Every structure is written in C-alpha cells, then in structure tokens.
Homo-oligomer: A and B are copies of this chain.
Amino acid sequence: MKQEHQGNLLNPLPVALVGANVDGKPNYLVIGYISPFDFGKHIFFSLYKKRHTRKGIHENGTFSVNIPSEVLIEETKLCGSKSGREFDKSTLFDTFYGALGTAPMIRECPINMECEVVEVLDYDPNEGIIGRVVKSYINSECIVDGKLDIRRARPFVWATGGDYNYYRLGDRIE
C-alpha cells in the first residue's frame, strides 16, 4: 500500500566532502545532496547558506569534491557535526592543491575533483552551486585494466527521509 510521506525520499545518496579555503585555511563540509551534471562536465550541489564553507566558495569561486572511503567515516562524521567556525578541520586531513590553486583537496580521499563556480541559484535558505569540473584525480589502486573499479575506493552512501544511516556499497550486479 502506498502512503504519503514528508521529507526527501530520493535515496540512497553519495557522501561527499566539499572543500574550500575560508580565510586562507582549508575547510571541509559533508554534502549529501550532490550530483554530476551535463555528462559530468559540471557538478551541482545543495548548500545551506549558514555553512561556514560557503564564505570560501563565494570568495574564491572554487571548491573541491572529495569522495571519502569507509576508513574515513569518523572524520566524515566530524566534518558533518562541527562547524569550521569552532573547529579547525584543516588538521583532519593532508590537503593538496591542483590546477586552480585555491580548491583544497583531501589526499586521504581516493577520488578528488576541483571545480570552478559557474552559477549560484538562490533557493533561500539554500543555494544551488554549479561548478565546472576542471580536473579530476583518482588513486591508481582504484584503476583495474585501465578502468575505474569503484569497489576499490570503498565509498559509502547514506539515506535520508527518516532512515539517516550510512551504508556500504553492496555487491556488483552482474
């Protein structure tokens, strides 16, 4: 039987750490409402305006997207529960920079993308941020026969709408 439901039901969702330099220091937040766009040449994500990282995204016009492995779940939870206003998240990870120079990326994450902001949509109290993907990086151990094998990145996903749990990636459906 179908029943009406309040709250997001589009599940499960990828978990990403979005990074930006705020006042010259790397900051990272957890974004769960994020999607590739335009064949993956762009990325879209939903950003709550009160997030500390927003200041850096607007100031620099750049951000990064980092896909954490399951071994980083505690650091991910910390990034999701504490604000960069009160906690220096730059100490949690080894940060590196790429072509843009201002989009801090997390070396411990097997997958990283650096992006340039091209459009900001105002859906108060949230913003839709659209970035052009300038360069993407992957740990070589995630490549098998020249192709990505996502299982080797050991990513995790989450569910919203009342569930609010993290899940492992399951078996490949052959």
Question: How many subunits of this chain does the assembly comprise?
Answer: 2
- Which residues of chain B have C-beta atoms less than 8 A from A119's C-beta? 121
A89 to chain B, nearest CB (A): 21
A83 within 8 A of B: no
A150 within 8 A of B: yes
**Chain A: interface secondary structure?**
strand
Known: A140-B3, A163-B149. A35 touches B9 (CB 8 A): no
Question: Which residues does A use to contact B, with CB under 8 Å?
Answer: 1-14, 16, 33-46, 48, 65, 67, 70, 73, 96, 107, 111-113, 119, 121, 123, 126, 128, 130, 133, 135-140, 143, 146-150, 153, 155-157, 159-163, 165-173
